Amino acid sequence: MVSFFVADFFILTASLFLSMFVFKRLPDRFKSTWRLRLRISVYQSFFGILMMLFSVQVADGVWLDLRLIPVLLAAYFGGLRSAMLTAGLISTGRIALFGGFTPEATAAIALVVLIGLLSGMAAERVKSYWRLWMINTAAAMAFSGLFYGYVLYANGMVLSKLWIMELFLMIGSLFVFGCIDLLRNTYDRHFLNKKLYDMIHSFHNIDNVNDIYEKTLRELSDLFQSDMGSIVAIRDNRYFLVGLLSQGEYVKIGSNVSPPDIEALEPSLSGRSMIFPDWTVRRPNGHLEDAIHERGIRSSIHVPIRYKNQVIALLNMGASTPSFFNARVMKFVEDLTPSISMALALLESESRFSSIVDSSKDGIVIADSELNIVSWNYGANSTFGYSEQEAIGQPVDLLIPEQFRKLYMTRIRRIVGRLDRTRARQTTLEAFGRRKDGTVFPIELSYSIWEASGIRYYSSIIRDITRRKRNEEQILTLQRDLADTIHFQHGVVIKYKKIGDAFIYTLADGQMLKEIGLTSQQLIGHSLESTAPPLLLDFLREQYALAWSGQIVECEYGHGRFTFFSTYNPVLKEGRVREVVVSISNISRRKQAEEKLIEANRRLEQLSNVDGLTGLHNRRSFDQQLEQERIRCRNNGGTLALMMMDIDSFKMFNDTYGHVAGDACLKLVADTLGKFADREGFFAARYGGEEFACILPMTNLAGAAAFAEAVRAAVQSLATPNERAVAGIVTVSIGVAAWQAEGIGEAAGMIDTADQALYAAKAAGRNRVIGAAQQSAMVGE
């Protein structure tokens, strides 16, 4: 009996093994089509009938075997319909193999159908793998025990064989359960690896992110046979519904969504996946989820996609069958998402590489280990003139001038060997290249070595340096010209650097060096302290230090019979002073000319302010001085007096004695006034014609009148004849006025006041002094 049950175990093992080939994937009762359910039923019933060939007969028409286990398998993989169909087919085999319809056969068929019904109903309702197998195994053992126990008892047979069958049924069920669990995990790993491989391989031909998302949805939908899928991209806390896959059709959308639209959006930002296995029990409450619920979705998973430690998208999958998705499926999808991140990283790297290569004006050429060209960019096309089709597959010596080919190829192989030995990866050199039209031009070539899939490649960046070489030649020419200019120019150009605490000369040239008795050799390499004149050392050290701090310094100084002007220009590199260029000019002649000009200007200014006949200040100078004294008095306080003086009967003097005598008379009177004014520190001026004026600072009316009287008396004492005058000699009439600071007015008003006093003196008989009429602003005698 035991041997027959062992044979049944081998049949069960064979059925499980062969299922790996018959079914590409372990069937899922919740996703099985009617065709798949039919295949499951036929497959399991075949092995159930096969087991009956190794049955143990315990009574007439009563046979013991493990045919109930295939029914349990059919229920697990195909649900109620597969279980009932399998029970029916096994029952048909029972009738065909063991004598047709008999009461025993009918009872056995009823047992198989009952187990098929119970196990199928349990499979439709119980989602837990362990719980389902425990329920179905217990039901099979209970009802088969009742059935065979009754049969054995009715035939007067001992019940000892029954417990053996029950034991084998339990062991067989547990064996199958363990094998299926092992197969399920094996299938999961196998399909995960295969799907990862397929997805990664399919991503190679995709050149944008949206197509990667679409491919991901299609692959996962095909893998799980789901009804709907979508991708929500996440950028800068904004959400975009990229596309929607429904019933095999993908639609690009690109519209904005928000967390209220999809419940899993906000949790996904922290990297947390969400599952809603049965929407009839608990469904997400987003607005978009309300819409797809109306379209029949009853189960969903939501898995975030991470890239560079950030959540960049949310993958959503939905199915119309309740409990379609479970934690195992969600874990499976989570294990697949790194391949999406890897594809995004690859796409980003390829995009960056392509943008660099395509936008580079330099030629970028890649050669294989045989030094044949395998990659050729637009920059290489522009540089050499060959198109990509013309260059690919050609040896690199196509780009080398014929006269240099042997030399350069030897050098290239030597460089490659050196890079291998030193494990260096890059070197740069200058050489000559050859264009398609045969012209030879200078190039800069940078080599690097890398490997991919065990194949060595040599990449090079080739730059046309024709313009640079031309510029270098022009720079050399300019440098020579500049050196000649510096050497032959009249001044001196020097450069210095600060080394430690000393300023060291690095350049000194110019024709002026000979004039001051120095040579370039005496300065270059020496310090300021060892070459500067002692009297100028402190001054020059201060200027050198200021320039080294970054300031532009201009200064003028003398030494011996020379006067020099120097300009210090700091040269900055990376924000630091690296050296200072000093330009020195001999301005001795210019300084002499400037001093002569200053003296001439001083004399001119003096002449412009002095009356040419009398030597006193003129009217222009008087007006300026009066304005200054008026403002000073008003600001500082005190008093200010003004005196106006006129020679009496001067017109008749001119008529009688002539203009020469008249000029002599004016000079005599002016000298007298000037002497008195200089002695007191007053300002005397010729106001016009025979009229004079004098400004008396810090003097009141009494003081002014006394000064005026002294002048009048001195002129009278000269006794210069004027026969037509009343006194018979030259006399003067004088008017004076004085103001306190708070009452001082404008200059014109002051002159008018003093002038009125002068007219009063003339009206009173001439040869006298009269103060201004009493006013509130005047100072009384």
Q: Which residues are catalytic?
A: 690
- Which pair of tokens denotes residue 276? 């809603």
Helices (H), 360-404: 378-384, 388-391
- Which pair of tokens denotes residue 231? 């991708």
For 298-397, where are the E strands, in sequence order? 299-307, 310-319, 363-367, 373-376
Q: Backbone dihedral region of 395: left (phi > 0), alpha (psi from -120 to 50 degrees) or beta?
A: beta
Contacts of 143 (CB under 8 A, 6+ apart): 111, 114, 115, 118
- Which pair of tokens denotes residue 597? 């000009």
Q: How far apart are CA 261 and CA 293, in angstroms?
A: 13
- Which pair of tokens denotes residue 746? 């404008």
- Sign for the CA dihedral angle at 527, 531, 534, 538 comes to negative
Q: What does residue 457 show for φ and ψ, rounded to 5 degrees? A: -130, 150
Interior CA angle at 574 toward 571 and 577, to 5°? 35
Q: Do 110 and 87 meet the contact criterion of CB atoms below 8 Å apart?
A: no
User: How are beta strands 373-376 and 363-367 bridged, if at all?
Assistant: antiparallel
Q: Backbone dihedral region of 746: left (phi > 0), alpha (psi from -120 to 50 degrees) or beta?
A: beta
Query: What is the SS3 string spanning 241-252?
Result: EEEEEECCEEEE
Burial of 143 from C-beta contacts in 10 A (0-12 / 13-18 / 19+): middle
Treating both helix axes as pointing N-terminal to C-terminal, what angle do 68-97 and 160-203 enclose, rounded to 10 degrees? 120
Contacts of 602 (CB under 8 A, 6+ apart): none
Q: Backbone dihedral region of 681: left (phi > 0), alpha (psi from -120 to 50 degrees) or beta?
A: left
Would you give the DSSP letter of residue 57? Answer: E
Beta bridge partners of 249: 246
Q: Do 757 and 773 meet the contact criterion of CB atoms below 8 Å apart?
A: yes
For 42-154, where are the E strands, in sequence order? 56-59, 62-64
From 578, 507, 583, select the one nearest 548 (Cα to Cα).
578
Number of CB atoms found within 10 A of residue 379's CB: 21
Stated length of the chain: 781
Residue with tokens 């499926």: 329
- Sign for the CA dihedral angle at 63, 66, 70, 76 comes to positive
**Helix count (H) and strand count (E) of the chain?**
24, 23
The DSSP string of 181-243 is HHHHHHHHHHHHHHHHHHHHHHHTT--SHHHHHHHHHHHHHHHHT-SEEEEEEEETTEEEEEE
Q: How far apart are CA 522 and CA 499, in angstroms?
A: 18
Number of CB atoms found within 10 A of residue 420's CB: 11
Interior CA angle at 52 toward 46 and 53, to 5°? 95
From 198, 195, 202, select the one nearest 224 (Cα to Cα).
195
Q: How far apart are CA 111 and CA 145, in angstroms?
A: 10
